[in-house]
Amino acid sequence: MTTSASHSSNTPVSNWLAQRILQLRIAILLLFAVLLAAAAVFVPQFRIDASADTLLVKNNALYIKTQQANQRFSPDEFILVAYKPRNGEIFSNTTFTDLTWLREQYLALSRVQSVTSILTVPLLSDASVLTSDADVTELTWQKQQFSPQQMQQMLSDHPIFTDLLINKAQTATALQIVFKPDPELSALEQEILAVQQNSLQRPLTADEEQQLEQLQQQAAPLRQALVKQRQQELQQISHINQQVAQQAETFTGGAYVVAQHLVDIISSDLTVFGSAITGIIAVLLLLLYRSIRWVLFPLLACAASVWLTLGLFAVLDIRATVISANFIALQLILTLAVMIHLIATYREVARNNPDHSQQQRIISTLQQKLAPCFYATITTSVGFGSLIFSGIQPVVAFGFMMLIAMLITMSVSLLLFPALLSLLKANTETDDFAFITAGLQATRRLVERAPWACIVMVLLLFSLLLPGLMRLNVENSFINYFASDTQMYQELRFIDQEFGGSTPLDIVINLQPEDSDSNLLLSAKQFNQLHVAHAAVAAFAASGNVTSLVNFTTLARQLNDDKPLTEYELNSIYRLLDEKVASQLVGAYLSDKPLQARISTRIQDTTAGLDREQLMQQLNQDLQSVGLTPQQYSLTNLFVLYQDILSRLFDSQIKTLGLVYLAMAILLLLIFRSVKIAVIALIPNVCTTLGILGLIGWLGIPLDIMTITIAAIAMGIAVDDTIHFVHNYLKAPRGQALQNSFAHTGIAMLFTSTVIAAGFAIFGFSSFLPSVYFGLLTAAAMLMALAADLTILPALLSRFVQPAASEKA
Amino acid sequence: MTSNTTLSLILLLLLSGCASQPQTPPEDTPAPITSQSTDDSANAELTASEQLSSGKTATIETSQGKIEIEPTVVDMAERAPATGEEQAQQYNDPLEGWNRGTFAFNHFTYTYALIPLAKGYEYITPAPVRDKIGNAFSNIREPLSMLNNLAAGELKDAGTNLGRFLINTTIGILGLFDPATAWFDLPEAKQSIADTLAGYGVAPGPYLVLPILGQNNVRGSTSVVSEYLLDPIGQVTNPPDTYYLQGVDAVDSFSDRARVYEELYRQAEDPYLYFRNQFLQGVKRDDHFSQPQQ
């Protein structure tokens, strides 16, 4: 083999390593056999923590505050089932019969605590019942059998139940299914929060961290079980709903249904796409190499790396989350990419030296490919590693996972794979498809003949994508994670639009103690502070159902001949309710110590033109303009947590991308020891990453925690081909450098890019839109990178860099 | 009969005369009735929540435009525009000494006589019967409401009273049933002398606790006392039947409130203040919101 000046330091190392790997092949095989067996022990312990919570950043103040509010007001966990009669009449005896039947069925589910519908809520026609001794619970349809007309009259524009149990248009009614909390889990969560709260004031001590760790471990299985239980419940509920399908359409929705659907999709994606990608890879390998061994061995190696990774994750108790659930597919694809480069070289060696023994072939292959394969996996790891600095917890975790996975991929493809190959007989290798090689050579001739035109053309094409960067946006919601033609989306959208929105947003107001009256729980002044805030919140077009004490007093005013209550009357009513009823009615909206009131709303995610950042800004502004100081209120719950992540996406995208560019520049500099070459190698990859971001912008796809990883990952993977090409170019004999590189590396680049692109494109069939975008866009990035690596890269190299071999000559 | 009416008219005039004398800080007396308008300039200095608390419609300006808010909970305090401070003397109670004494006496009477009596009544009369008796007493009261509605110029309501009285007395069997509401869509249009007085702009006057009859203000007491004298039961029956029936009426309306009274008394820090404030705020609120809004 030709040694080059610039690689003189690498090649002897490569040679030495190649020899050692082959000598130690039995030991390597044994070692991996032991590791695989050990992994088998742990793999069953591997867990998918696919709750929607994993999409959130958990260790920040916002999350802790949300938890605090949740514990203080302990709002019920509920889902909504909307019932839309096909004949349009909700106030009819048929509807009432169905609602009664559905309610009974739901109540039979073990975790269901209560089911509320328009038939079970007390309906009042005047206020006298509020102060008299009458039993309010008697005033329901169930007890009184009101006529459909009476029901319609009492429920029209009801301050509490409109948007919750009946839509404004009165075309559908909803059943609210309330679930019992798990006392054990609640207790644990309370303990966890008690420790976490401290971090609001000071960093946690080592003891606390440890305690937290322990508590989390206790809570984890309970949470898992809850996710599973919810899954079953949703199935049962949907089964029950089918029984009334003749009379009515039903829609299931509400905050945790969205999350639960996410979990379902992701767990099914994990297995479906894991196996689909394996299948696609097998078919592609068979097509490309037309030989069983080149299907079997790469797949074996892929399986081994995934297996080892699963085992290691289980040992380290790293869990797959919504974001990182794709790691199996990713690892399969990336392991394969490395091996295709090895196989291409091996086949070429075999074709050129038909007499060599298998061992000699492998040594030659390794001598040529050990260094570039090593660098390539390093750069890919760096691509993923940059995610660790994204500042968004789920993405950080994903970065860590892929970093570990890549190290395993590297050792499997560079140690296990050659050791396995050495067991094979030295067959003669088929030729590569002539049309592929011909096509590649045609491209080469084009590049050689008109390098400048080529560079300008490609840069021009990419620059067309750049204006898309300006159009990038972060508008997104959980509902928009589902493709709009899916049943899930339709149901969620119906609930979102007709029954008061989806993503919960809470406004917790500290009522000023200086306004309080010792005779009263709540003074008029305190109450009205809440009232103006409530009005400000409800004014937003995107606010769905807005609920607070104000709904109750509005109802009271309606019933009281349109006269407001006095503060004493309000207090008297509260005192006269028995404690259980009081906590049921208003406990979720008023807490005694400290005196806080909660306004609860759900944001309608399908509101046209919703700008969430602006909504948050304006809401803060409005609350302050109606007299609350920033210390007096806090915004909590899912909407805020999610918005917090969205608001960091741009920042995070810029940070990770900048970091990736910097790390790659340093790596390329280390590998090629030339600023010029490093810059040239960087250019096609920068083009690709900016190009893909531009494409995202042009297509109007919102950035989310999955799509922001695309650019960094694409860079990490695409650089591999660049390194292989440049590496080959530098080693090739003078005059034939380009021809040699296209012939040797071009094939492998084409194959890897095709396999990776095809593998990622499979995700296009997911119903989880972030996965769809992630798959299709990464595939697009791979093809863009291939195009850049075969045009602009050789053109630049041929213009500015002489192969090292010629320098020496 | 004639002497009764004459006497009550004299009493009425006397008491309302007292009531309209501004004995206490002047801003307390005419204010709630005359300054109805939600005058923007007057409210300009008050925050929206203070305006609401005082029973005024508030307008807030947010990023989503102007929003008008109707108060749902009020304390009816007069607030100085400049400071937003609640003015002293929110509760007009110059007779506090007398009132506290009577309040204590009443509490004793309620606890050891009226409430046990009411509970006994409740015990021996099943709920449907109590309902019917309640209906009958409301029916007997219709002519009085009619007079008051006439006096207040509410001719339509007066007509309603007459219609209800005729229907319920005949078809409703002496008022035991209420077909006027159920079949003829004639809901109650109750009007007391206090309502009528309030309608004429008579100020409520100071807080006054009457023995047994309980809390009131001078205007309301006029009403209670004169209604007692004008009571239609007095016109159709002769003592001692009258006293007996009036007693049942009192017990009947009291049995509903016994639990409420006991519960609130138990929980209040200073029951006298609690009941007084609740009453006075309610009266102010009623005065304010029964007026036609401008």
* Assigned CATH topology for domain A5-45+260-475+643-808: Multidrug efflux transporter AcrB transmembrane fold (1.20.1640)
Strand-pair category, A596-603 with A543-547: antiparallel
Return the residue in A129, A132, A563 with the most chain B beta carbons within 10 A, the one to mutate for interface testing.
A563
Q: Which of B63, B70, B259 lies at the smallest CB-CB distance from A622?
A: B63
Do B143 and B99 sit in the same domain of this protein? yes
The residues on B that touch A, with CB distances below 8 Å, are: 47-50, 52-53, 55, 58, 60-65, 67, 69-77, 256, 259-260, 263-264, 267-270, 273-274, 277-278, 281-282, 285-286, 289-290
- Of A629, A624, A623, A652, the closest CA to residue A505 belongs to A623
Measure the CA–CA gap between B129 and A144, rounded to whole angstroms.
19
CA B197 to chain A, closest CA, distance in angstroms equals 19
Do B10 and B59 sit in the same domain of this protein? no
C-alpha triplet B138, B141, B147: angle, nearest 5°: 140
Predicted local confidence at residue A533, as pLDDT: 94
Q: What number is the ipTM of this complex? A: 0.71
Angle between helices A293-316 and A393-411 in degrees, nearest 10 = 130
Do B122 and B183 sit in the same domain of this protein? yes
Measure the CA–CA gap between A55 and A645, rounded to whole angstroms.
9
| Closest residue of chain A to B259, computed from CA coordinates | A133
Q: Which residues of chain A make contact with B75, given a CB cutoff of 8 A?
A: 523-525, 566-567
Domain boundary residue among B52, B68, B88? B88
Per-residue pLDDT of chain B (294 residues; tens, 9 = 90+): 333 333 333 333 333 333 333 333 333 333 333 333 344 444 456 888 888 888 888 888 888 889 899 998 888 887 766 555 555 567 777 888 888 888 888 888 878 877 777 777 777 777 777 777 777 777 777 877 887 787 777 888 888 888 888 888 877 777 777 887 777 777 777 777 677 777 776 677 777 777 766 676 666 655 555 555 555 554 444 444 444 444 455 555 555 566 677 777 888 888 888 888 888 888 888 878 875 543
Q: Which of A541, A556, A569 lies at the smallest CB-CB distance from B278?
A: A569
Q: Answer whether residue A554 shows pLDDT above 50.
A: yes
Residue B33 forms part of a structural domain: no
Q: Which residues of chain B make contact with A527, given a CB cutoff of 8 A?
A: 53, 73
User: Tens digits of per-residue pLDDT, A405-439?
Assistant: 999 999 999 899 888 888 877 777 777 777 888 88
Measure the CA–CA gap between A264 and A256, rounded to whole angstroms.
12
Q: Answer whether residue A643 shows pLDDT above 90.
A: no
Do B81 and B195 sit in the same domain of this protein? no
Domain boundary residue among B51, B72, B88? B88
Distance of CA A629 to the CA centre of its chain: 35
Domain locations along chain A: 5-45+260-475+643-808, 62-253, 503-603
Please judge whether A576 and B263 are an interchain contact, meaning their C-beta atoms are less than 8 angstroms apart.
yes
CA B14 to chain A, closest CA, distance in angstroms equals 31
Phi (first) and psi of residue A86, to 5 degrees: -70, -30
Q: Answer whether residue A175 shows pLDDT above 60.
A: yes
Measure the CA–CA gap between B277 and A571, rounded to whole angstroms.
12
Strand-pair category, A590-591 with B65-69: unpaired
Predicted local confidence at residue A695, as pLDDT: 92
Residue B137 forms part of a structural domain: yes
User: Tens digits of per-residue pLDDT, A278-289?
Assistant: 888 888 888 888
Predicted local confidence at residue B220, as pLDDT: 62
Range of the domain at B66: 38-88
Q: Is the separation of the CB atoms in A536 and A550 below 8 Å?
A: no
Please judge whether B47 and A569 are an interchain contact, meaning their C-beta atoms are less than 8 angstroms apart.
no
Q: The dihedral of CA A218, A223, A224, A228: what is its sign?
A: positive
Q: Which of B72, B77, B267 lies at the smallest CB-CB distance from A557?
A: B72
A563 near B CB under 8 A = yes
Q: Which of A528, A539, A550 lies at the smallest CB-CB distance from B62?
A: A539
A525 near B CB under 8 A = yes
Residue B284 forms part of a structural domain: yes
- Of B205, B162, B204, the closest CA to residue B184 belongs to B162
Higher pLDDT, A49 or A505: A505
Q: Is the separation of the CB atoms in B146 and B165 below 8 Å?
A: yes
Q: Which residues of chain A make contact with B261, given a CB cutoff of 8 A?
A: none
Q: Which residues of chain A make contact with B84, given a CB cutoff of 8 A?
A: none
CA A66 to chain B, closest CA, distance in angstroms equals 25
Q: Answer whether residue A501 shows pLDDT above 50.
A: yes
Residue B32 forms part of a structural domain: no
Do B255 and B126 sit in the same domain of this protein? yes
**CA diameter of chain B:** 69
Q: The dihedral of CA B153, B154, B156, B157: what is its sign?
A: negative
Predicted local confidence at residue A405, as pLDDT: 93
Do B12 and B49 sit in the same domain of this protein? no
DSSP state, residue A601: E
Residue B30 forms part of a structural domain: no
Paired tokens of A44: 């069953």
CA B265 to chain A, closest CA, distance in angstroms equals 10
Paired tokens of A18: 């190649």
Do B117 and B249 sit in the same domain of this protein? yes
For residues A694-712, average pLDDT: 87
Q: Is the separation of the CB atoms in A291 and A430 below 8 Å?
A: yes
Predicted local confidence at residue B148, as pLDDT: 78
- CB pairs A-B closer than 8 Å: 131
User: Tens digits of per-residue pLDDT, A7-50?
Assistant: 433 467 788 888 888 888 889 899 999 999 999 998 888 877 76
Please judge whether A550 and B64 are an interchain contact, meaning their C-beta atoms are less than 8 angstroms apart.
no
Q: Which of B55, B62, B267 lies at the smallest CB-CB distance from A575?
A: B267
Q: Which of B67, B74, B273 lies at the smallest CB-CB distance from A566?
A: B74
Measure the CA–CA gap between B110 and B112, rounded to whole angstroms.
6
Q: Is the separation of the CB atoms in A793 and A745 below 8 Å?
A: no
Do B198 and B173 sit in the same domain of this protein? yes
Predicted local confidence at residue B44, as pLDDT: 54
Q: Which residues of chain A make contact with B277, given a CB cutoff of 8 A?
A: 519, 568
Higher pLDDT, B134 or A599: A599
Cis ω before B128 (30° cut-off from 0):
no
- Contact partners, residue A45, CB within 8 Å, separation at least 6: A314
Q: Is the separation of the CB atoms in A556 and B72 below 8 Å?
A: yes
CA A708 to chain B, closest CA, distance in angstroms equals 32
Predicted local confidence at residue B214, as pLDDT: 67
Please judge whether A133 and B256 are an interchain contact, meaning their C-beta atoms are less than 8 angstroms apart.
yes
Please judge whether B269 and A518 are an interchain contact, meaning their C-beta atoms are less than 8 angstroms apart.
yes
User: Tens digits of per-residue pLDDT, A565-574?
Assistant: 888 888 877 7
- Of A339, A474, A465, the closest CA to residue A752 belongs to A339
User: Tens digits of per-residue pLDDT, A339-384?
Assistant: 888 888 888 888 888 888 888 888 888 888 888 889 888 988 988 8
Measure the CA–CA gap between A351 and A615, rounded to whole angstroms.
65
For residues A463-482, average pLDDT: 82
Predicted local confidence at residue B253, as pLDDT: 55
Report how many domains make up chain B: 2
Higher pLDDT, A57 or A666: A666
Do B76 and B97 sit in the same domain of this protein? no
Residue B144 forms part of a structural domain: yes
What percent of chain A clears pLDDT 70, i.e. is strictly above it? 93
Residue B121 forms part of a structural domain: yes
Indicate the residue type of B43.
N
A539 near B CB under 8 A = yes
Give the three-state DSSP class for B207.
strand
List residues bridging with A471 in a β-sheet: none
Please judge whether A525 and B53 are an interchain contact, meaning their C-beta atoms are less than 8 angstroms apart.
yes
Q: Which residues of chain A make contact with B269, given a CB cutoff of 8 A?
A: 518-519
CA A643 to chain B, closest CA, distance in angstroms equals 19
Q: Which of A523, A528, A563 lies at the smallest CB-CB distance from B285?
A: A563
Of the pLDDT bands very low, low, confident and very high (cuts 50, 70, 90), residue A269 is confident
CA A748 to chain B, closest CA, distance in angstroms equals 59
Q: Is the separation of the CB atoms in A455 and A339 below 8 Å?
A: no
Residue B185 forms part of a structural domain: yes
Q: Is the separation of the CB atoms in A313 and A398 below 8 Å?
A: no
What is the model's pTM?
Answer: 0.76
Domain boundary residue among B47, B69, B88? B88
User: Tens digits of per-residue pLDDT, A435-461?
Assistant: 888 888 888 888 888 888 888 888 888
Residue linked to tokens 């809570």: A219
Do B258 and B130 sit in the same domain of this protein? yes
Do B193 and B226 sit in the same domain of this protein? yes
Please judge whether A568 and B281 are an interchain contact, meaning their C-beta atoms are less than 8 angstroms apart.
yes
Do B169 and B83 sit in the same domain of this protein? no
Please judge whether B278 and A566 are an interchain contact, meaning their C-beta atoms are less than 8 angstroms apart.
yes
Predicted local confidence at residue A318, as pLDDT: 84
